[in-house]
Chains A and B, each alone.
Chain A
Amino acid sequence: MTGERTFQKFKRLIPKKAFLLWLDSLRKDYKLIGPVKTGNHAVFKEVDSSEELFMEYGTTMLSPGKLFLYKPNEELFRFAMSGKITIDEIAPIAEKQIIIGVHPCDVNAILYLDRTFLGTFRDPHYEARRKNTLIISLNCTRVSENCFCSSVGAGPFLHAASGYDMLLTDFESEYLVEIKSRKAEELFGLEGRSAGRDEMRLKAEKEKSMKSKFKKAINVSGLDNIFAENMDHPIWQQTAEDKCLSCANCVMVCPTCFCYDLRDEMSMDLKTVTRYRCFDACQDIMFAEVHGGNFRQRRAARLRQFVTHKLDQTNQYGVFGTVGCGRCITWCPTGIDLTEITREIQKFKS
């Protein structure tokens, strides 16, 4: 979220301990958010000290972008209705925050959310938080069972040019720190060793070795048309009947699903109404209910909507709706896998 002004994109090797101490020194001005181990899972949440961080995590259930930038639940304004209507705006709350350890897929997901909330219509609440957030990405050190980011170019190493502030690569006892924004350049006070050609070669080797570890993949060529041509493929109805629960877990854990619902809650004295925004889901039967009917009455239609929005509609923003994080596969109670559905349809095509 930095301007166009140039800054020095330097690279340094910093001992991990020193880097984490530097993070702690920022805590007087910033809220520090990062992956924390709870039970067998990692969760993004605010920490009091960098010692709580669990940087070796695989994936989290909820992505940091949909917890700390695009909020699950958010009050927008209140209005009173005694006689004439008066509106009481709620100013965007934007505490300064640093999100550390964001994997490449989740950074790409945040860039995707930017297209929605900072596109044609700018959302003031999202924008205020985005401007006050420093994103420190961390290239992946392990591949989880359902990851397929390498197939869609969203990982395991981050190649996005801008939109985040710092990129870390694990170099055993050190981090290779790459500065990606002016804000990060100004804040970063550590000297360390400067990284040269050798280190970048080592980084490329690490990326190559990571890429060989993927168990899941998807062939993305021609997907744009393949779904449109197979709207009535039997796989939709079959999966909808055998497996899909319409529970919307896929949508809720998806880091790029941006649909929201606006709801009004009225106080019992009828004097004030609070309008708030919360995540909505295309799997909810009421999602497509409009005057005169419901244009996605069938479960198969709702399932197809999710899968095609992730894999087909590159014409919406010019990129895939999926970042290949695999969360929708992991957290689907019946294990619906959009890569398998795609393979099924591709088989039919060829």
Chain B
Amino acid sequence: MNKLRLGFFKYSCCMGCSYFFAYVHKHVPEVLASFDFVFIKLLSSKGTPEGPFDIALVEGAITEAWQVDELKMIREQSKKLFAIGSCAVIGGIPAIKATTPELDVEKRVYKNLSSIHSIKPHAVDAYVKVDGYIRGCPPAERDLYEALTSVLTGRKPDFPQYSICIECKLKGNICVLIADNMPCMGPVTNAGCGALCPSMNRACYSCFGPMKQANSPALAKKFKAMGISRDDIIRKFTEFGADTIEFRKAVEMVYED
């Protein structure tokens, strides 16, 4: 079988998804056998970001105008394009600034703004259509395989779209939200991690971002009733999902309260 051409593109993020991908290809040699790594900065400085690509993986949020231009070009040259990691999927950590005016954020960090060209942070799908979301921070291993094998076999990938609670109960964990009164974000967070934090008796902090149609205002109300402060509730819903419609609703509700 001819190897499929793979490109891995990095925008505003910690490059953790590249590291994760490097880890996976080291441990699962079939990945190397099936794909030709045309461009992945972390592994080789020789690659060129020129298509066509059979599969493009994009990590990082889009926070500068040049990234938008390049991303559009990659989309046009790629048969399949997946957003990988929370920054690319929902905006993630770089999108914390999404709720503050851009100039205010810049002034807080830089004295001289002449070389700063940042724009409002958004997820990859705000600019181009994506074929699937490999969620998480770091991304879910199973979802990465699912994306890769779906491209290899030409089928539609199947990613979970339900809450962390389902994974948590399948594992038999006692609910930390109800039993231990911890402000767990599990009920509104998309599954994929295997309920990692609740399995370690810690509250979920929603690094996978909101699940589809999540009713975050109802959970924010519950947190308030539990005695969690207004600021802490806002932090919970803006740590990763500040640029998502689902979590914005909770933040707005708390602001209006």
Contact = CB atoms under 8 A, between A and B. Distances in A.
Main secondary structure, interface of B, reads helix
Contact of A285 (B28, B158, B179, B212): B212
Contact of A249 (B30, B165, B211, B215): B165
Interface of B: 28, 30-31, 33-34, 142, 145, 148-149, 152-153, 158, 161-163, 165-166, 169-170, 172, 174-175, 177-179, 186-188, 211-215, 218-219, 221-222
B218 A270 contact: no
Contact of B169 (A39, A253, A265): A253
A252 B166 contact: yes
A270 B219 contact: no
Interface in A207-259: 240-249, 252-253
A245 B174 CA distance: 18
B213 A246 contact: yes
Contacts of B219: 245, 333-334
14 contacts: A43-B172, A245-B215, A246-B163, A247-B187, A265-B142, A266-B145, A269-B30, A269-B33, A278-B170, A279-B166, A286-B161, A333-B177, A334-B219, A334-B221
A62 interface: yes
A268 B170 contact: no
A315 interface: no
A72 interface: yes
A268 B188 contact: no
B218 A243 contact: yes
Given A244-B218, A279-B170, A268 B149 contact: yes
Contacts of A181: none
A72 B172 contact: yes
Contacts, number: 110
A136 B215 CA distance: 41
Given A245-B218, A270-B34, A286-B161, 12 more contacts: A246-B163, A249-B187, A267-B30, A268-B148, A270-B152, A279-B170, A284-B163, A285-B161, A285-B212, A330-B178, A331-B178, A333-B175
B222 to A, nearest CB: 5
A284 B39 CA distance: 37
Given A245-B188, A247-B187, A270-B153, A284 B172 contact: no
B100 to A, nearest CB: 28
Contacts of B152: 270
Contacts of A240: 215
Contacts of B31: 268
B166 A334 contact: no
**Most chain B beta carbons < 10 A, residue from A242, A245, A266, A284:** A245
A285 B213 contact: yes
A206 B33 CA distance: 69
Contact of B161 (A247, A284, A330): A284
Interface string A37-69: 011110100000000000000000110000100
A73 B174 CA distance: 17
Contact of B174 (A38, A246, A252, A278): A38
Contacts of A283: 162
A125 interface: no
A203 B186 CA distance: 44
B162 A73 contact: no
Contacts of B149: 266, 268, 270
Nearest to B25: A268
Contacts of B212: 285
Contacts of B188: 245, 247
Nearest to A62: B172
A331 B175 contact: yes
Contact of B187 (A40, A281, A333): A333
**Most chain A beta carbons < 10 A, residue from B186, B211, B218:** B218
**Most chain A beta carbons < 10 A, residue from B163, B214, B221:** B163
Interface in A272-297: 278-279, 281, 283-286
A281 B28 contact: no
A299 interface: yes
A247 B186 contact: yes
Given A268-B148, A333-B219, A249 B169 contact: yes
B169 A284 contact: no
A263 interface: yes
B144 to A, nearest CB: 10
A277 to B, nearest CB: 12
A268 B28 contact: yes
Contacts of A286: 161-162
A278 B222 CA distance: 29
Given A333-B178, A333-B187, A252 B215 contact: no
Contacts of A265: 142
B93 to A, nearest CB: 24
Contacts of B166: 247-248, 252, 279, 281, 284
Nearest to A38: B174
A247 B165 CA distance: 6
A153 B149 CA distance: 50
Given A245-B187, A247-B163, A270-B152, A41 B174 contact: yes
